[in-house]
């Protein structure tokens, strides 16, 4: 059975940057071929927590130096002097409002849709009416700013360093089905597996390593390493049986777009897919269908060569 791991408060707190962790990496920043750095940038070391984990543990994390990874959903259109991480609520308040230490660096104004890693401190902030109006106007929301009668109460992040993932170079990928167009950054496999229920039932993009492909037709593939029972983190099928992927795609990186769902397979289905993968002995031992995450892909992009 596939075990879905939900990030707990204890795990979230363990991800807080430990003193000295950055010193041990000799201040080596994250790969410049993959990230654009701003301010102090982000050095190799502590793994960032998800936005979900940061929000769930906001009180315990107040004032602590942390790293958070999340999609950029808004940027100041005047100077790039602030940005939003995560979707806004019905009142236009972002989950995390990010400012930059000492007003010392800015973001590109066209950064929305990309993924950022921020390092700094998070606090709960009660804005004045003037502040809320100002930030809405900076975002180009002039009509909304006129209607403000009360300041927002938001989580504010004061970042000393930021790294923004560069857009994926789709010229390095082969396209299948509807393919993957330039645009929103995909979620990583690790992010999806940390809170899969957040992604079920809506159209999403996800990126991860291909670890198995149907050896009969290429009509399905696995993302991520299988568990002890042989169940992959995500089992990928292709919409309307309308396209297949190369049978030698294992080891490559894939970007998918489509729908994620939970699936309880029958014994016959589980045996069938194991046989398709050439795992005949494992198929003979099946007595219970797998419960898995299934991704129905409209489009797929796969790197032209396996990742080293």
Last residue of a domain, one of 147, 165, 183: 165
Same domain, 103 and 153: yes
Q: Which pairs from 6-14 meet CB under 8 Å and 24+ separation?
A: 6/194, 6/195, 7/49, 7/50, 7/52, 7/53, 7/194, 7/195, 9/56, 9/57, 9/60, 11/53, 12/49, 12/53, 12/54, 12/56, 12/57, 12/61, 13/57, 13/60, 13/61
Q: What tokens does 145 get?
A: 């700013």
Tell me the pLDDT tens digit for each residue of 90-132. 776 788 999 999 999 999 999 988 889 999 999 988 888 998 8
Does residue 86 lie in a domain region? Answer: yes
Same domain, 55 and 203: no
- What is the mean pLDDT of the segment spanning 225-253? 90
Does residue 20 lie in a domain region? Answer: yes
Does residue 73 lie in a domain region? Answer: yes
Say yes or no to pLDDT of 24 above 70. Answer: no
Predicted confidence band of residue 3 (pLDDT cuts 50, 70, 90):
very low
Tell me the pLDDT tens digit for each residue of 132-143. 888 888 888 888
Say yes or no to pLDDT of 18 above 70. Answer: no
Same domain, 148 and 181: no
Same domain, 36 and 79: yes
Mean pLDDT over each residue of the chain, to the nearest integer: 86
Same domain, 129 and 240: no
For residue 94, what pLDDT is reported? 84
Same domain, 116 and 206: no
Residue 120 belongs to domain spanning: 9-165
Say yes or no to pLDDT of 25 above 70. Answer: no
Say yes or no to pLDDT of 218 above 90. Answer: yes
Same domain, 247 and 273: yes
Last residue of a domain, one of 165, 191, 220: 165
Same domain, 149 and 134: yes
Does residue 3 lie in a domain region? Answer: no
**Using CA atoms in the order 221, 223, 224, 230, what is the torsion angle rounded to 10 degrees?**
-40
Same domain, 161 and 25: yes
The count of structural domains within the chain is 2
Q: Which pairs from 267-276 meet CB under 8 Å and 24+ separation?
A: 273/214, 273/220, 273/235, 274/230, 276/214, 276/215, 276/216, 276/219, 276/220
Same domain, 74 and 23: yes
- What is the mean pLDDT of the segment spanning 41-47? 91
- Quick one: what percent of the chain has pLDDT higher than 70? 90
Say yes or no to pLDDT of 258 above 90. Answer: yes
pTM for the full predicted model: 0.64
Same domain, 132 and 85: yes
Same domain, 155 and 250: no
Q: Which CATH number is 248's domain given?
A: 2.40.50
Does residue 277 lie in a domain region? Answer: yes
Does residue 1 lie in a domain region? Answer: no
Last residue of a domain, one of 145, 165, 185: 165
Q: Which residue, among 126, 161, 130, has the nearest Cα to 138 in the 3D structure?
A: 130
For residue 307, what pLDDT is reported? 66
- What is the mean pLDDT of the segment spanning 205-233? 89
Does residue 177 lie in a domain region? Answer: yes
Tell me the pLDDT tens digit for each residue of 273-295. 888 888 898 889 888 887 878 99
For residue 26, what pLDDT is reported? 57
């Amino acid at each position: 059975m596939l075990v879905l791991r939900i990030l707990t408060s204890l795990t979230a707190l363990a991800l807080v940057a430990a003193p000295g962790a950055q010193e041990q990496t000799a201040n080596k920043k994250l790969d410049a071929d993959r990230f654009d750095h701003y301010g102090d940038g982000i050095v190799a070391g502590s793994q960032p927590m998800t936005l979900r984990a940061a929000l769930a543990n906001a009180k315990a994390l107040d004032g602590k130096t942390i790293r958070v990874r999340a999609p950029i959903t808004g940027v100041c259109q005047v100077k790039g002097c602030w940005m939003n991480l995560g979707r806004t609520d019905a009142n236009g308040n972002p989950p995390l409002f990010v400012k930059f230490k000492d007003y010392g660096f800015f973001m590109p104004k066209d950064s929305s849709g990309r993924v950022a890693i921020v390092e700094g401190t998070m606090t709960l902030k009660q804005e004045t009416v003037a502040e809320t109006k100002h930030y809405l106007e900076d975002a180009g929301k002039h009509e909304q700013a006129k209607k403000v009668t009360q300041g927002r109460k938001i989580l504010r992040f004061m970042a000393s360093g930021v790294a923004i993932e560069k857009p994926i170079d789709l010229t390095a990928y082969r396209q299948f089905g509807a393919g993957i167009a330039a645009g929103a950054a995909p979620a990583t496999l690790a992010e999806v597996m940390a809170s899969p229920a957040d992604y079920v039932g809506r159209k999403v993009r996800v990126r991860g390593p291909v670890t198995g492909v149907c050896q009969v037709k290429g009509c399905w593939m696995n993302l991520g390493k299988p568990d002890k029972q042989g169940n992959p983190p995500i089992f990928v099928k292709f919409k309307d049986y309308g396209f297949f992927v190369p049978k030698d795609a294992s080891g490559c990186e894939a970007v998918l777009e489509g729908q994620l769902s939970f699936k309880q397979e029958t014994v016959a289905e589980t045996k069938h897919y194991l046989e398709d993968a050439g795992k005949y002995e494992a198929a003979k031992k099946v007595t219970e269908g797998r419960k898995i995450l299934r991704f129905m892909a409209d489009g797929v992009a796969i790197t032209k060569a396996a990742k080293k």
